Amino acid sequence: MNPHYDELETRDPALREAALLAAVPVQVVHAQTHSAAMAQALHGVDGRAVRTRADLARLPVTRKQELFERQKAVRAAGGDAFGGYSTLAYGSAMPRIFASPGPIYEPEGRAPDYWRMARAIFAAGFRAGDLIHNSFSYHFTPAGSMMESGAHAVGCSVFAAGVGQTEQQVAALQDLQPAGYIGTPSFLKIILEKAADLGVTFPSVTKALVTGEACPPSLRDWLGGRGVAAYQCYATADVGLIAYETPAREGLVLDEHVILEIVRPGTGDTVPEGEVGEVVITSLNPDYPLIRFGTGDLSAVLPGICPSGRTNTRIRGWLGRADQTTKIRGMFVHPKQVDDIAKRFPEVLRARLVVQGEMANDVMTLKVEVHDTLAAQALKSQIAQAVRDVTKLRGDIELCASGSLPNDGKVIEDARGYA
């Protein structure tokens, strides 16, 4: 049995990189030509000249909040529901529209496996002829449709279970005896616990693709102890599948049709490989051409190639949220402000703002990594002044040795007590 969905998963990494980079200028020009929102975001950019990762990294990042705000403003002005990001119009080319919390509206085009979920479903062990119990919502959000279209591409049938009504879920699983489950891991646990209470079993369910929330090793092991091998994937309603878990259980392998960057939160600056930062995706979907879309999620690139034989880049998985905006003494401080302070001083390698103390008695300390803490002592007063200039707040400065700050993606650490 072929362990890979297609030959793209095992191609030479250099060939993959060349193919992705060749697609970038085409997509950028397409976005500038057909998406009013991306045309504005990329104003003045020669799309044909965006041919390297360095070129791509110079383009602005569009974050989810900006997408929401533009959609809202354009709708209020009588424009289209998607804020000018979609290249499709209502009609046969756009069979469905979904809404994520916000609301942010997403179009679904007619391309087979539009959200590209088949690769993750296949890696989780599903094969043509399987019946899948899909417990993702078909209401408002695209999760149900995302999974169903991917399952159909693999050759599976789908029971459209949706969410809630646990006893009915158990009854359907018992009656239909599907090969596996797709949904959140916590709901699968609830279903299995309810089945145990009712004295019901469905031994056919041996595999699962789970997403929508974290699935820690303890929960994965709990499911495994009940005969279900659960694999995770990482996807968003904006760009579809980003990465998926394989039987190797070593991180998540990137989808073949996205370009990933890891950037310092609040900026568009890429971080060194292995450092935690915000996931930024360039989608190659011509219907919704998001260029450098900031997901707001934290992750990091893993070195090496997956033992499963898939040669694409791997990431560690979801490591939290990148939006660390924090209110200090009545003032909001943003990660970008911390980055702006650090960039004023070539000697500063990394910076982390730590907020401590009890409520209404905040103590703010900017920790900065430098090569030589003794030689940099004279900088402390200058950095402190920059903190006041940028944030309008006073803060202490702590010089730290290179590499001593935690690699967790945090630019602002809120360590206050609220008891």
Chain segment 323-346, per-residue pLDDT in tens: 887 878 767 788 889 999 999 999
Residue 387 sits in which domain range? Answer: 326-414
pLDDT at 211 over 80: yes
Strand segments, DSSP code E, in 308-387 are 314-315, 326-328, 331-333, 350-356, 363-370
CATH code, 348: 3.30.300.30
- Given a contact cutoff of 8 angstroms between Cβ atoms, the answer to whether 292 and 280 are in contact is yes
pTM: 0.86
- Residue 326's Cβ-side half-sphere holds a number of Cα atoms within 13 Å equal to 26
Total domain count for the chain? Answer: 1
pLDDT (average), residues 206-226: 93
Classify residue 391: in a domain, yes or no. yes
Asked if the structure places residue 134 within a domain, the reply is no
Minimum mean pLDDT among 54-63, 218-227, 360-369: which range? Answer: 360-369
Q: Does position 417 have pLDDT exceeding 80, yes or no?
A: no
Burial-class residue 203 by CB neighbours within 10 Å (0-12, 13-18, 19+): exposed
Chain centroid, CA 363 distance in Å? 32
pLDDT band at residue 39, thresholds of 50, 70 and 90?
A: very high
- Type of residue numbered 44: G
The full length of the chain comes to 419
Tens of pLDDT along 80-120? Answer: 999 999 999 999 999 999 998 888 999 999 999 999 999 99
Residue 35 lies in a domain: no
At residue 362, the pLDDT reads: 81
Is 13 inside a domain boundary? no
Q: Is residue 299 part of a domain?
A: no
